[in-house]
Amino acid sequence: MSQVPPAATAVSARGLRRPVTRRILRRTPARGTDQLPLWMHPVLRRVYRARNVRSAEDLDYDLGRLIPVTALARADEAAALLHRIMAARGRILIVADFDADGATACALAVCALRRMGASDVGYLVPDRFRLGYGLTPGIVELAASQRPALIVTVDNGIASHAGVERASQLGIPVLITDHHLAPSQMPRAAVIVNPNQPEDSFPSKNLAGVGVIFYVLAALRSRLRDTGWFSRRALSEPKLADFLDLVALGTVADVVPLDRNNRILVEQGLRRIRAGRCRPGIQALLQVARRDREQLVAADLAFAVGPRLNAAGRLEDMSIGIECLISEDQATAHTLAERLDALNQERREIESEMHRQAREQVEQLVRGFERDLPYALCLYRSDWHQGVVGIVASRIKERCQRPVIAFADAEEGWVKGSARSVPGIHIRDALDALATRRPGLLERFGGHAMAAGLTLRRDLLDAFREAFDEEVRRIAGPAALAGHLLSDGELGAEEFSLGLARELRTAGPWGQGFPEPLFDGMFRVLDQRVVGQHHLKLRLQATSASPGVEAIAFGRAEEGRLPERAHLAYRLGVNQYQGVSRLQLIVECVAAEGSTGFA
C-alpha cells in the first residue's frame, strides 16, 4: 500500500483540542497478470485485484463452491444427536442470542427442523436485562420448565460452563453451535460445533452463528436422507438453499469477514431475496425500510434490515424479531416489521442523546490529559441504556481511533460494558490477558477481535479503566491508534459515470474484509447546503475540465461548511428518486487542501 501525499487535518470528535488524524493509504493491486473477464471495467478490475481476486473462478459464487459440510468438525455428531431426539419425538429447544445473527440462526433452526419433520421445536431467547447473554443457569432453569429433550444453542454457548453444568444436573443434553472464540477450557456439552474450537480445521473461521447452524442442518438433512427418514414419512426433502435469505441477513448483520465462503452464502441469499423467494418477514422489513427488493445489495441488509431487527433485542425482546422472521403470513409479518421499525426509531433517539453525552465525556478527558487521550477509553453513565452502549462505543471508536468500552448499570452493584476495537488490537485477547494479569477484576467477558462484552463490579470500574488502558499500551504502539483509510485510488474524469457506479454496486457482495470500493481525490466545492438537518448536499468538480457531480456527506452538517477545495474520500453511489437514477458521490471523509489527515 502506498501513502497519499499530504492531505488534511482531521477532527475526530467535535471540540477535541488535540484531534486524532486518519491518513489515507492507497491499496496496491496484486502484481502480475490476472484472468478476469476482458469485458470488466478497468476500475473494477483494479478493485478486485487489490482484494486478491485474480480470476473469474474467484468470483464464482455457485453453491457447489461452498466448503463441504464434512469439513466442519463434529457436525456429523450434532446431526446424529438431533436425529435421535427427532426419532424419539422429543422437544428440541433453541436458545438464541438477542442480536440479528442469533435471531436469524434461531429462525433458521426452527423453520428447517420443522420442515424436516421434527414434531416439537420451540425457542427461547434470554432477556438481556435480567438473564444476560448466553446459556446461563437462569436461562436453563427457564428452559427446564418446557421439559426439553435437547437444548440447542445458536450463536452462543461456547463459554457457558455454568449453564451447561446446570443443564447436565437437570438431565438435559446440550448441543452448542457457536462461532465465538473458544476459551481455554470448553463446556462439557454433549456436542460442540464451532469452527473456532481448537481441533477444528474448517478452512473458514469466519462463519457467523447462522452459518454454523446452516452447516449443522445440512449435515442433518444428509443423515436423514441416508437413513430413509423422508421417504418413510412421506416428507418432501427440504431445500436448505430456501433458507439462505436468513443466512445472508445474519452474516451481513454480524459484520463477520466476508471471505469467499461467506460471500457465496450472502450472494446466494441476496439472489433469492431479489427474486422474491424469501421469508415474508424479510420482505416486510424491506418494505418498512423502503428498500427496493429487486435492487437489493448487502449494504441494505447491513444498514436497513439488520438495525431494525437488532432494535428488538436492544430495547425490548428479540422474540418480536424472531416471530417476524418465522411467520408464514405476510400480514402478520408486516405488523411485526412495523413494530420493529418503531423500536428502531426509539433506539435512534436514545442513541443520539447517549452519543452526545459520550462526546462530552471524551472532551472532558482531553481537558484532563496534558498530551493526549488515553490509549483506550472507558465511558460510563448510570442512566445509559444497556442495549445501546455497543452502538455508542462504535461511534466513539470511529471518532477517536482507539478501543472504546461503554458501560451501563446492570443489576445492583454491577455494570455491563460493550467494547469496540480498531485494527491491530484484538479486544477479546486484550480482555483475556487483563483477566490473567488482574484476577478478580473481570467477572466475565467474551467476544471477537473487534467487539466484546464484559461484566464487572461497579466499584472496580476506575481500577478497570486504568488497567485496560495499561493493557492496550502494552500490546499496541501509537501506530495502531493512528488510524487510516484504504483507498482504491483516484478516478479519471470519464470514470465518474452512472454505469460504473451501478457496476460497482452489484459487484460484491461487499462487507467486512471485502470492502466496498472507496476512492479519493481533490475537488472544488461548487455548492453546498444542509438537507435533512444533519447532511450536506454538495456539487463538486473533480478537475477544471470535468462537469460538476452531485454528492452527499451524511451526518456532516454539524462539522460546518466544507472549504472551497478539499481532498475527499468517497464512494460512487446511485441516487434513485421518483424513478430517475443519477450518479451521486457518497463522501466518507473530508480534508482541507494541504493538511495531513482526514475527518
Helix residue ranges per DSSP H, 369-447: 389-400, 427-437
One domain, residues 433 and 504: no
Tell me the residue type at 119: S
Beta partners for residue 587, in sequence order: 570
Of 307, 342, 377, at which residue does a domain stop?
342
One domain, residues 384 and 306: no
How much is the pLDDT for 372?
Answer: 67
Total Cβ atoms within 10 A of residue 119 = 12
List CB contacts of 270: < 8 A, sequence separation 6 or more: 248, 296, 297, 298, 301, 509
Distances (CA, A) of 489 to 17, 43, 534, 570: 31, 10, 28, 10
Mean per-residue pLDDT of the chain: 89
Q: Are 531 and 500 in contact (CB under 8 A)?
A: no
One domain, residues 314 and 453: no
One domain, residues 126 and 274: yes
- Tally of domains in the chain: 3
Does the pLDDT value for residue 253 go beyond 70?
A: yes
**Which of the residue ranges 305-309, 570-574, 577-581 would you say has the lowest mean pLDDT?**
577-581
Average confidence (pLDDT) over 224-230: 97
What domain range includes position 6? 2-60+485-592
| 515-537 pLDDT tens trace | 999 999 999 999 999 998 889 99
Average confidence (pLDDT) over 244-273: 97
One domain, residues 292 and 161: yes
| 334-371 pLDDT tens trace | 999 999 999 999 999 999 999 999 988 888 877 665 45
Q: Are 496 and 458 in contact (CB under 8 A)?
A: no
**Which of the residue ranges 5-9, 39-43, 194-198, 526-530 would you say has the lowest mean pLDDT?**
5-9
CA 263 to chain centre: 14
| 464-482 pLDDT tens trace | 999 999 999 988 866 667 7
Average confidence (pLDDT) over 540-565: 84
How much is the pLDDT for 15?
Answer: 35
Query: Which among 526, 561, 563, 518 has a CA at the least distance from the CA of 542?
Result: 526
Taking phi over 0 as left and psi of -120 to 50 as alpha, with beta for the rest, 36 belongs to beta
Long-range contacts, 27-31 (Cβ 8 Å, 24+)? 27/1, 27/486, 27/487, 27/488, 27/489, 28/1, 28/2, 30/54
One domain, residues 86 and 203: yes
Of 432, 461, 482, at which residue does a domain stop?
482
One domain, residues 181 and 136: yes
How much is the pLDDT for 374?
Answer: 85
pTM to 2 decimal places: 0.89
Q: Are 160 and 446 in contact (CB under 8 A)?
A: no
How much is the pLDDT for 63?
Answer: 95
One domain, residues 478 and 510: no
| 65-103 pLDDT tens trace | 999 999 999 999 999 999 999 999 999 999 999 899 999
One domain, residues 317 and 379: no
| 177-190 pLDDT tens trace | 999 988 888 999 99
Q: What is the DSSP letter of 561?
A: P
One domain, residues 26 and 97: no
How much is the pLDDT for 10?
Answer: 33
Does the pLDDT value for residue 4 go beyond 60?
A: no
Q: Assess if residue 351 is contained within a domain.
A: no
How much is the pLDDT for 371?
Answer: 53
What is the grid cell recorded at 557?
A: 452538517
How much is the pLDDT for 11?
Answer: 32
How much is the pLDDT for 3?
Answer: 46
Q: Assess if residue 297 is contained within a domain.
A: yes
Sign of CA dihedral 251, 209, 130, 452: negative
How much is the pLDDT for 447?
Answer: 79
Q: What's 94's domain CATH number?
A: 3.90.1640.30
Q: Assess if residue 270 is contained within a domain.
A: yes
How much is the pLDDT for 14?
Answer: 33
**Which of the residue ranges 63-77, 165-179, 431-445 would you say has the lowest mean pLDDT?**
431-445
What is the grid cell recorded at 39?
A: 469485458
What is the grid cell recorded at 483?
A: 488510524
Q: Assess if residue 377 is contained within a domain.
A: yes
One domain, residues 25 and 150: no
3-state secondary structure of 346: helix
| 363-406 pLDDT tens trace | 887 766 545 678 899 999 999 999 999 999 998 998 888 899 99
Q: What's 427's domain CATH number?
A: 3.10.310.30
Residue carrying C-alpha cell 445501546: 388
How much is the pLDDT for 448?
Answer: 79
Total Cβ atoms within 10 A of residue 371 = 5
Widest Cα–Cα separation across the chain: 76
Q: Where are the beta strands (DSSP E) in 458-542?
A: 484-487, 519-531, 535-541
Q: Assess if residue 599 is contained within a domain.
A: no
**Percent above pLDDT 70 for the chain:** 93
| 271-329 pLDDT tens trace | 999 999 999 999 999 999 999 999 999 999 999 999 999 999 989 889 999 999 999 99
Does the pLDDT value for residue 140 go beyond 90?
A: yes
Of 482, 514, 531, at which residue does a domain stop?
482
Average confidence (pLDDT) over 124-150: 89
Q: Assess if residue 360 is contained within a domain.
A: no
How much is the pLDDT for 299?
Answer: 95
One domain, residues 295 and 436: no
Residues 586 and 570: their CA atoms lie apart, in Å, by 5
Q: Assess if residue 357 is contained within a domain.
A: no
Assign 3-class secondary structure to 291-325.
CCHHHCCHHHHHHHHHHHHHHHHHHCCCHHHHHHH
Q: Assess if residue 281 is contained within a domain.
A: yes
Instruction: Place 596 in a pLDDT band, splitting at 50, 70 and 90.
Output: very low
Residues 400 and 482: their CA atoms lie apart, in Å, by 9
